C-alpha cells in the first residue's frame, strides 16, 4: 500500500500562512458577496413575485450551512474543507464524492463568475455583450486569474480585500437610497400578490434551487484555513460575520428589487414592457438585465442612478472577477488535499518552487472551467445552464458535510470545538454523553429538500451533475485499483499527528495541550482510535460473519 500522507503544514514546499482576519472574511465575501450580482436577476426572472421568499428560504439553509462550516473549519484547519471533513467522518469514498462534487461547483464558479463579470464589464462595450465575444472574453479572464494564482495567495488575497471593502459600501448605498427614495410599495405589493394569487409551485421551487447560488462561498474560508493565521480563532469570527452580512444583503436587495422594477424586465422569455422593440431586441434587453441585475437596479435610483450605475458596473466586474478567482483558488486547494490523501494522482501535489502554489492543479481545473464555458456558450442561456450545474454540485457536497458533522459528534470527541452549532440536545449513554445539534438536523432536512428541488426543476443540473459524479467514481475505482488501495475502506492516516502539527505550526499551543489531554483520557477509557463511519460498518459486518479482522482503515 502506498504511503499515507497529508499535506503537512510544516512541510518544505508546503502552503504558506498569509491570510489574516480581513483576508479570511473577504475570501468568503468575494465568493458569497458576488453571488447576488448573479442570482438577483436569475431568481427574479424565474420566481417572479415570490423571489424574496426563494431568497429567504435559501438564506435559512445558508445560515445552517454556515454554522456547520464554522464548527468544522475551526476543528480541522487544514486545506481541503468539506472534502476533508467528509473523508474523516464517513470514509475515503465519501470524501472523494464530496471533493469531486465541490470541484464541479468550483470549476463552474470559475466559469459562471467570469462570464457574469464580463457582462458587467460589457456595459461599457455593448457590442461585445453576446456570444461568441463574451465567451472569448471570459476565457481570457480565466487565463489572467490562473496567472494571478500562480504568483501566490497573498497577492490574490489583497485583491479580495480592496474590492470587498468597496462593494460593501456600494451595496449598502443601493439599499439605503433605494428604500428611501425609489421603493414603491404599490408595485411591491402588486407583484407579490399577483404571484400568490396565481401560485405556481414549480416556479418557486426552481427559483429557490437557483437562489442557493447566492450563498455559496463559505467553502472559500475553509479552503484557506491552512494559509490563515491562527485559524481556530479567526475562522469562527469571520464566518459568523459573513453569514450575517450576506443574509442581510440578499434579503434586502431581493425585496428592494420587487419594489423598484417590474420582475418581467429580468425575464428573457417575457416580451412585456418592450415598448415597440423587436422580439430579438426585447429578448436581448431582458437578457442584459438578467445578466447584470445590479446595474438595472442602480439605474432606477433617483438622482444618483445615472452616476451610480457605472460604479456598480466597475464594482460588479471586479467583485465577480475575484469570486471567479476564489473558484480558481478553491479548486486547486481541494485537489492538492485530495492528492495528498490518496484520492487523486500524486502529481497534483506539485508545488511551484518559487511561488509555492499548486501549479498542476491550477492549470488542469482552469482548463475544465474553460471547457464548461465553451459548452455553456452552445446553450440558449449560458447563465442558467452554468447555475443549474452549480446548484446540484453544491447541494450534494453540503449534504455530505452535514452527515459528516453529525457523525463526527459521535466518533471524534477529542478534537477541541472552539465553536459549536447552537441548540444542542444531550444524548446520554452509559459510557459518555453526546451533543446532537438540532440546527444541524434541520439543515440536513433542508438540504434534502433542495436536492429534490434541483432534480425536479433543473433540466441540465439533474443530467450533467449525476454524470459528473458517476464519471468521478469510475475514475476513483480505476485510480485506487491501479495503486492497490482499498476501494471502500479508508487508507491509514495519523489524524492526531496532523492535528497536533497544525496546532503547533499556527501557534495554537493551548488547543494542542487540550487535544493531547483528551486523547490520553480516551485511551484510558478504552475508546480506541477514530474510524470513519463506513469502516465501522464494514468492521461490524465482518465481525458478524466471524472474520474478526483488524480494520484496514483504522486511524490513530
Identify whether 431 is part of a domain: no
In a domain, 458, yes or no: yes
Q: What is the CATH number of the domain that holds 190?
A: 1.20.1740.10
Q: How many residues can be counted in the chain? A: 556
Containing 437, the helix (H) or strand (E) segment is: strand 433-437
Beta strand spans in 257-394 (E): none
291-309: average pLDDT: 90
Q: Which long-range contacts link 173-180 to residues 24+ away (Cβ below 8 Å)?
A: 173/308, 174/253, 174/256, 174/294, 174/297, 174/298, 174/301, 174/308, 174/312, 175/249, 175/252, 175/253, 175/256, 177/301, 177/304, 177/308, 178/256, 178/260, 178/297, 178/301, 179/252, 179/256
Tell me, yes or no, whether 418 lies in a domain. Answer: no
Cis-peptide into 338, omega within 30 deg: no
pTM reported for the whole predicted model: 0.84
Average pLDDT, the chain: 83
pLDDT of residue 224 exceeding 90, the answer is no
Statement: residue 466 has pLDDT above 50: yes
Q: How confident is the model at residue 399, as a pLDDT? A: 92
d(CA 43, CA 462) in angstroms, rounded, equals 18
Say yes or no to pLDDT of 431 above 80: no
Asked if residue 290 belongs to a domain, the reply is yes
Note whether residue 80 is domain-resident. Answer: yes
The pLDDT of residue 548: 47
- Tell whether the model's pLDDT for residue 154 goes beyond 60: no
- Residue 258 located in a structural domain: yes
Does the pLDDT at position 54 exceed 50?
yes
Q: Total domain count for the chain?
A: 1
Is 242 within the bounds of a domain? yes
Determine the pLDDT at residue 505: 78
Q: What is the mean pLDDT of residues 209-214?
A: 82
In a domain, 491, yes or no: no
Domain that residue 400 falls in: 21-411+439-482
Q: What is the pLDDT of residue 390?
A: 86
Amino acid at each position: 500500500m502506498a504511503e499515507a500522507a497529508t499535506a503537512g503544514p510544516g512541510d518544505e514546499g508546503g502552503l504558506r500562512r498569509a491570510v489574516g482576519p480581513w483576508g479570511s472574511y473577504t475570501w468568503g465575501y468575494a465568493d458569497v458577496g458576488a453571488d447576488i450580482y448573479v442570482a438577483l436577476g436569475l431568481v427574479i426572472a424565474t420566481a417572479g413575485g415570490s423571489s424574496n421568499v426563494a431568497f429567504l428560504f435559501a438564506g435559512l439553509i445558508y445560515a445552517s450551512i454556515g454554522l456547520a462550516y464554522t464548527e468544522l473549519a475551526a476543528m480541522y484547519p487544514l486545506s481541503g474543507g468539506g472534502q476533508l471533513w467528509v473523508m474523516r467522518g464517513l470514509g475515503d469514498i465519501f470524501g472523494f464524492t464530496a471533493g469531486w462534487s465541490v470541484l464541479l461547483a468550483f470549476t463552474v464558479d470559475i466559469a459562471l463568475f467570469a462570464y457574469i463579470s464580463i457582462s458587467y464589464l460589457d456595459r461599457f462595450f455593448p457590442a461585445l455583450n453576446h456570444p461568441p465575444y463574451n465567451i472569448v472574453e471570459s476565457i481570457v479572464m480565466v487565463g489572467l486569474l490562473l496567472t494571478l494564482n500562480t504568483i501566490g495567495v497573498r497577492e490574490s488575497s489583497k485583491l479580495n480585500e480592496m474590492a470587498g471593502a468597496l462593494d460593501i459600501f456600494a451595496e449598502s448605498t443601493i439599499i439605503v437610497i433605494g428604500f428611501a427614495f425609489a421603493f414603491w410599495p404599490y408595485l411591491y405589493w402588486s407583484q407579490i400578490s399577483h404571484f400568490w394569487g396565481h401560485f405556481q409551485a414549480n416556479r418557486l421551487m426552481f427559483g429557490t434551487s437557483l437562489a442557493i447560488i447566492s450563498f455559496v462561498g463559505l467553502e472559500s474560508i475553509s479552503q484557506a484555513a491552512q494559509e490563515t493565521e491562527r485559524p481556530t480563532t479567526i475562522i469562527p469570527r469571520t464566518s459568523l460575520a459573513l453569514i450575517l452580512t450576506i443574509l442581510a444583503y440578499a434579503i434586502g436587495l431581493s425585496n428592494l428589487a420587487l419594489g423598484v422594477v417590474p420582475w418581467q424586465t429580468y425575464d428573457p422569455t417575457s416580451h412585456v414592457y418592450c415598448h415597440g422593440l423587436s422580439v430579438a431586441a426585447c429578448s436581448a434587453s431582458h437578457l442584459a438585465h438578467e445578466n447584470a441585475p445590479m446595474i438595472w437596479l442602480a439605474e432606477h435610483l433617483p438622482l444618483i442612478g445615472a452616476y451610480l450605475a457605472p460604479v456598480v458596473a466597475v464594482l460588479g466586474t471586479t467583485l465577480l472577477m475575484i469570486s471567479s478567482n476564489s473558484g480558481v483558488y478553491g479548486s486547486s486547494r481541494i485537489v492538492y488535499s485530495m492528492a495528498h490523501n490518496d484520492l487523486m494522482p500524486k502529481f497534483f501535489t506539485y508545488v511551484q518552487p518559487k511561488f509555492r502554489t499548486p501549479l498542476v492543479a491550477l492549470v488542469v481545473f482552469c482548463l475544465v472551467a474553460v471547457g464548461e464555458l465553451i459548452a455553456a456558450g452552445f446553450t440558449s442561456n449560458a447563465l442558467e445552464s452554468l447555475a443549474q450545474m452549480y446548484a446540484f454540485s453544491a447541494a450534494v457536497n453540503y449534504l455530505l458535510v452535514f452527515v459528516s458533522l453529525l457523525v463526527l459528534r459521535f466518533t471524534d470527541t477529542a478534537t477541541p470545538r472552539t465553536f459549536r452549532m447552537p441548540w444542542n440536545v444531550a444524548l446520554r449513554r452509559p459510557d459518555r454523553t453526546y451533543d446532537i445539534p438540532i440546527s444541524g438536523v434541520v439543515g440536513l432536512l433542508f438540504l434534502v429538500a433542495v436536492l429534490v428541488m434541483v432534480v425536479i426543476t433543473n433540466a441540465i443540473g439533474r443530467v450533467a451533475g449525476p454524470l459528473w459524479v458517476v464519471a468521478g467514481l469510475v475514475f476513483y475505482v480505476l485510480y485506487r485499483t491501479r495503486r492497490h488501495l482499498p476501494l471502500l475502506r479508508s487508507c491509514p492516516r495519523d489524524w492526531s499527528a496532523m492535528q497536533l502539527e497544525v496546532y503547533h505550526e499556527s501557534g495554537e499551543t493551548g488547543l494542542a495541550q487540550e487535544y493531547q489531554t483528551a486523547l490520553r483520557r480516551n485511551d484510558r477509557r478504552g475508546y480506541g482510535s477514530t474510524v470513519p463511519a463506513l469502516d465501522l460498518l464494514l468492521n461490524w459486518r465482518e465481525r458478524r460473519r466471524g472474520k474478526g479482522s483488524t480494520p484496514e482503515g483504522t486511524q490513530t
